[in-house]
Amino acid sequence: MIPTPAPVHASNPRLAELLARMALEGYGTLRAQSIRLGIPAGALRNYAAGFPLPEEVAGDIEWMMELSDGWLDYPAAATTALVDDRRQGMMASA
């Protein structure tokens, strides 16, 4: 059985978007996401819960995920809707 990730309520909407996208790509657990991002699971849990995301950590995440510098600083993009659409499609086909 594939674990279903808990909903993310990050104060940083881009982080929530990134974690949702990672869940669709097979990184559905906090541990898998933290390993892929190169940060401790406890820290990722805190950031997802709303703790401030330090600039250095944001830069490391952007580098690790091959995102442009400052990507996490911008408001959530229209791609959030794309992630939701993909999730709906995956649920419908299951």
Q: List the one residue out of 91, 83, 70, 69 whose CA is nearest residue 17.
A: 83
Domain boundaries, position 69: 13-83
Residue 56 lies in a domain: yes
Number of domains forming the structure of the chain:
1
**93 found inside a domain:** no
Whole-structure pTM over 0.85, yes or no?
Answer: no
Q: Answer yes or no: is 3 within a domain.
A: no
Q: Which residues contact 77 (CB under 8 A, 6 or more apart)?
A: 14, 17
Q: What is the pLDDT of residues 25-76, one digit of tens each?
A: 999 999 999 999 999 999 999 999 989 999 999 999 999 999 999 999 877 6
pLDDT interval class at 4 (50, 70, 90): very low
